Amino acid sequence: MPFLRVFPVLGVIVMVFALTMLVPLGVSLWTQDGASSAFPGAMALTFVCGALMRSAVWRVGHKLELQKRDGILLVGLAWTLLPLFACVPLLLYFGPTSTPLSFTDAYFEAISGLTTTGATVLVGLDRLPGSINLWRCFLQWLGGMGILVLAVAILPMLGVGGSQLFRAEATGPMKDAKLTPRITETAKGLWTVYCLLSLACVLGYWLAGMSVLDAWIHMFSTLSLGGLSSHDSSFGHFQSPAAEWVAIVFMLLASCNFALYFVTLVKRQPGRIWRDAEWRGSMLLLVGSGLFVAGLLLAKGAMSDPGEALRTALFNVVSIGSTTGYSTVDYTTWPVFAPIFMIMLSGVATSAGSTGAGIKMARIVILLKQARREMARIVHPRAVNPVTMGGNVVDSGTIFSVLGFMLVYGGTIIGLTMVLLLTDMPFDTAFSAVVASVNNMGPGLNEVGPAGNFAGLSDFQTWVCALAMLLGRLEMLSFLVLFTPGFWRK
């Protein structure tokens, strides 16, 4: 068996994942919210499965280094298996209640969590126990920086196999930018930055008046650009301008490359951030769009108070554009330009190496520079003007891979939309549901818009959206390659 060696590593990752269930279990016991029976069973099941996977093929696998293909396979397997374990507490909790959750819906909820999408099939979130809501959002936090990156950070046994995992899970066009000599240190550094920002965010929410539990829950889904909430009315529940401003700041921070923060902290060169073309691109686009929509709302008379218009527009535009998916109002009632524009924005605004999804600003920057180069070539056919990013020449291999990615990205959206249309879904719902899922954003338009949710979808439609989320998180190619015969050929 050629790929048997990934199982021991996968087993260890599943075991680590089981341990993360201690967090909601602890909260449940602490707050006495009545859901504490859901977690120990799920945790034991996950842990035992992990241990079995680890030991079943221990003798075959423990000595072999992970190869590139193993890394890709492991990432694919982990991202399909972990939601399976993550949905067990939900199944256990909802099983005995009057509204049991189907497996499809539970899996959808879990994968929507881990991929930081933030689409939900649950209604009556306010009445759910705190620990269940926390678990949904905690999944987003884990998936945001990457559960495998976490594994690389804390499991020293991976060695060079760690870089294969890291590369297969990392996002963006240039995946070999190591920050430290050893991949473990890079992974640790990224998680440290992530945790520091998380603590700052919790503090911000708490100061803005949220309860301690709400502050943590919303921090989890803010930093990961996930967008799940413990309230049906999402962020609108709080009616708190201060909390909204805190959210705007941290959503913006999380849509940038975390590696950039790490380098800035280690090298103490704040100037590096300003010089980064991708950072400037993401920030200008998100903030500029927010201001533009605010102006639009005032001009069209949808809102009258400039201060409120600015805050509301900025919050919702940044939330959707950064693929978070919170909302304070039903923005689909805004002038028709705004909601469509925001959904388009979600595909391009976040940076590579951030917790967001979509095409990533780095690819957009490369493509724009390539387009400019083509135009320059019309005027000066013999000019040599390579595409550069941060002073380094982007080789043509990378440019081609970006073009290839764009094709697959577009193809995925069109293809999955067509599949949903086959099930007689209205076009705007189908298209927006696919885009919202592929971009890991959450709410779309109409039925799946901020005022509704994904509960009304049929089982088949739910699975299509779940697949779209997975494809979006793993940037299509490294997941799709698993289904090519060449990958399995010896």
* Interface residue with another protein, options 181, 270, 271, 381 (CB under 8 A): 181
182 interacts with another protein by CB under 8 A? yes
Task: State the nearest-atom distance from the C-beta of 267 to another protein, in Å.
Answer: 8
- Candidate ranges 173-181, 312-320, 366-374, 414-422; the one touching another protein (CB under 8 A): 173-181
239 interacts with another protein by CB under 8 A? no
- Phi, psi at 392, each rounded to 5°: -105, 145
Task: State the nearest-atom distance from the C-beta of 176 to another protein, in Å.
Answer: 6
Q: Say how far apart CA 434 and CA 444 lie, in whole Å.
A: 8
- Candidate ranges 31-39, 156-164, 251-259, 325-333; the one touching another protein (CB under 8 A): 156-164
- Phi, psi at 29, each rounded to 5°: -65, -40
Cβ atoms of 252 and 283 closer than 8 Å: yes
Cβ atoms of 220 and 167 closer than 8 Å: no
69 interacts with another protein by CB under 8 A? no
- Candidate ranges 180-188, 318-326, 367-375, 422-430; the one touching another protein (CB under 8 A): 180-188
DSSP code of 231?
Answer: S
163 interacts with another protein by CB under 8 A? yes
183 interacts with another protein by CB under 8 A? yes
What one-letter code names the amino acid at 157? M
180 interacts with another protein by CB under 8 A? yes
159 interacts with another protein by CB under 8 A? yes
What one-letter code names the amino acid at 139? L
* Interface residue with another protein, options 126, 185, 308, 459 (CB under 8 A): 185
Which C-beta is closer to another protein: that of 163 or that of 255? 163
241 interacts with another protein by CB under 8 A? no
Which C-beta is closer to another protein: that of 171 or that of 184? 184
Per-state percent for the chain, helix, strand, coil, to nearest 5: 70, 0, 30
Task: State the nearest-atom distance from the C-beta of 395 to another protein, in Å.
Answer: 8
Burial-class residue 214 by CB neighbours within 10 Å (0-12, 13-18, 19+): buried
Which C-beta is closer to another protein: that of 178 or that of 237? 178
270 interacts with another protein by CB under 8 A? no
- Phi, psi at 434, each rounded to 5°: -65, -45
Tokens of 222: 């803010």
- Residues 365-404 interacting with another protein (rule: CB under 8 A): 392, 395
118 interacts with another protein by CB under 8 A? no
Tokens of 461: 């439609």
Which C-beta is closer to another protein: that of 305 or that of 395? 395
Which C-beta is closer to another protein: that of 182 or that of 231? 182
Burial-class residue 49 by CB neighbours within 10 Å (0-12, 13-18, 19+): middle
* Interface residue with another protein, options 15, 45, 178, 487 (CB under 8 A): 178
Q: Which of 145, 147, 239, 129 is nearest to 189 (CA)?
A: 145
**CA gyration radius, the chain:** 22
Q: Say how far apart CA 482 and CA 478 lie, in whole Å.
A: 7
Task: State the nearest-atom distance from the C-beta of 477 to another protein, in Å.
Answer: 17
305 interacts with another protein by CB under 8 A? no
- Residues 423-452 interacting with another protein (rule: CB under 8 A): none
Alpha-helical segments (H) within 2-129: 6-20, 22-31, 38-56, 58-61, 68-86, 88-94, 103-114
DSSP code of 66?
Answer: P
* Interface residue with another protein, options 32, 44, 60, 68 (CB under 8 A): 68
Q: Can you give the binding site for another protein, defined by CB under 8 A?
A: 68, 159-160, 162-163, 176, 178-183, 185, 392, 395
